[in-house]
Amino acid sequence: MRLGVCGWPVAHSRSPQMHNAALAQLGLTQWRYQRLPLPPHLFEATVRALPQAGFRGVNVTIPHKEAALQLADEATETAKAIGAANTLTFENGVIHADNTDATGFLTSLKTSAYDKTALVLGAGGSARAVIYALKQAGVDELRIWNRTEAKAHALAEEFNATVSDETADIIVNCTSVGLHDPGDTFKELPLSADELGAGCTVVDMVYRHGGTLLLNAAKANGAEVVDGLEILVAQGAASLERWTGRTAPDQAMREAVADIAT
């Protein structure tokens, strides 16, 4: 059985190491997970051909998540509400779409979002999944900030949130700030390190070897922190369970991705 991740580019993805470690741990020796670099114009035709090539399913990443939902024959309510899919499963001639980014985020949060305030930074694909998840978890007040403000307004209207950079109980960085130049984090985001203290949960979707500047500052100030790698593992575990019907060995998956330096 074959699995994979479709993206453009996809060379940086840690999903193959993570899933192949999980498949080995489960003793699924006939299964293999691989990178599938696909430019947008080849995405749909290639995905439709995958079942015949022995694929059980694929993860989908930038820039194909919306197209993945559109080509699917059926989709979960979560994928439909987010407007994007990161997991496709091929079943009896049917393409099924799900979005495990939302589940992965909530599983990793380790604190209840119920009745809390939340500030989401960013208005791209991962922000949509996080906003949907926080709403599902019963967050009391949701604030959205984005560099391009019009996108924050559009999301706020869609998800009944407010456009604001006021700090909150739960702060989630869904921008790519910190990925390339960690030193710029507190210049580019409307946060100061001293706002991130005890009683606050700080989540960074971005992951870096040794932790991001944002998470390291939050941790030093006594905040609860959730690393982007945890979310990567949790979304991957949910996808793997969908394809194999087995409980994902999340510790083996965590170790496989933690070993890779960026």
Nearer to ligand NDP, 89 or 126 (CB): 126
25 touches 54 (CB < 8 A)? no
240 is a site residue for ligand NDP (CB under 6 A): no
Rounded CA-CA distance 246/115 in Å is 33
Judged by beta carbon, residue 58 or residue 231, the one nearer ligand NDP is 231
Tokens of 201: 């949960």
Residues between 205 and 224 that touch ligand NDP (CB under 6 A): 205-207
Check binding of 228 to ligand NDP (CB under 6 A).
yes
Continuous H helices in the chain: 15-25, 40-49, 65-71, 77-82, 100-109, 125-136, 149-159, 185-188, 213-220, 228-244, 250-258
Name the minimum Å distance from CB 225 to ligand NDP: 13
Tokens 């996080």 sit on residue: 130
Q: How many residues contact ligand NDP, by CB under 6 A? A: 25
| By CB under 6 A, residue 124 contacts ligand NDP | yes
Q: Which of these segments, 3-11, 91-99, 125-133, 211-219, binds ligand NDP (CB under 6 A)?
A: 125-133
**What residues from 78 to 117 belong to the interface with ligand NDP (CB under 6 A)?**
101
Q: Decide if 39 contacts 67 (C-beta within 8 A).
A: no
Q: If you search the block for the tokens 């919306």, which residue do you land on? A: 66
Taking CA atoms, 141 is separated from 22, 136, 207, in Å, by 37, 12, 26
Instruction: Report whether 108 belongs to an annotated binding site.
Output: no
d(CA 93, CA 102): 26
**Does 4 count as an annotated binding residue?**
no
The helix, strand and coil proportions of the chain, stated in percent and rounded to the nearest 5, come to 45, 20, 35
Q: Is 16 in the site for ligand NDP (CB under 6 A)?
A: no
Residue nearer to ligand NDP on the CB measure, 5 or 71: 5
127 lines the binding site for ligand NDP (CB under 6 A)? yes
How far is C-alpha 91 from the geometric centre of its chain's CA atoms?
24
CB of 236 to ligand NDP, least distance (A): 8
Alpha helices in 160-193 (DSSP H): 185-188
Residue 123 is labelled as binding a ligand: yes
Site for ligand NDP contains 126 (CB under 6 A): yes
3-class DSSP assignment, residue 113 = coil
Q: Please, are residues 169 and 114 in contact by the beta-carbon 8 Å criterion? A: no
Q: Does 176 bind ligand NDP (CB under 6 A)?
A: yes
Helical pair 228-244 and 15-25, crossing angle rounded to 10 deg: 50
Q: Does the active-site annotation cover 65?
A: yes
Is residue 232 a contact point for ligand NDP (CB under 6 A)? yes
The one catalytic residue in 65, 135, 187, 219 is 65
Binding flag, residue 256, ligand NDP (CB under 6 A): no
Q: Give me the active site residues, please.
A: 65
Instruction: Summarize the annotated binding site as residue ranges.
Output: 13-15, 61, 77, 86, 101, 122-126, 146-151, 205, 207, 228, 235
* Footprint on this chain of ligand NDP (rule: CB under 6 A): 62, 101, 122-127, 146-148, 151, 174-177, 179, 188, 205-207, 228, 231-232, 235
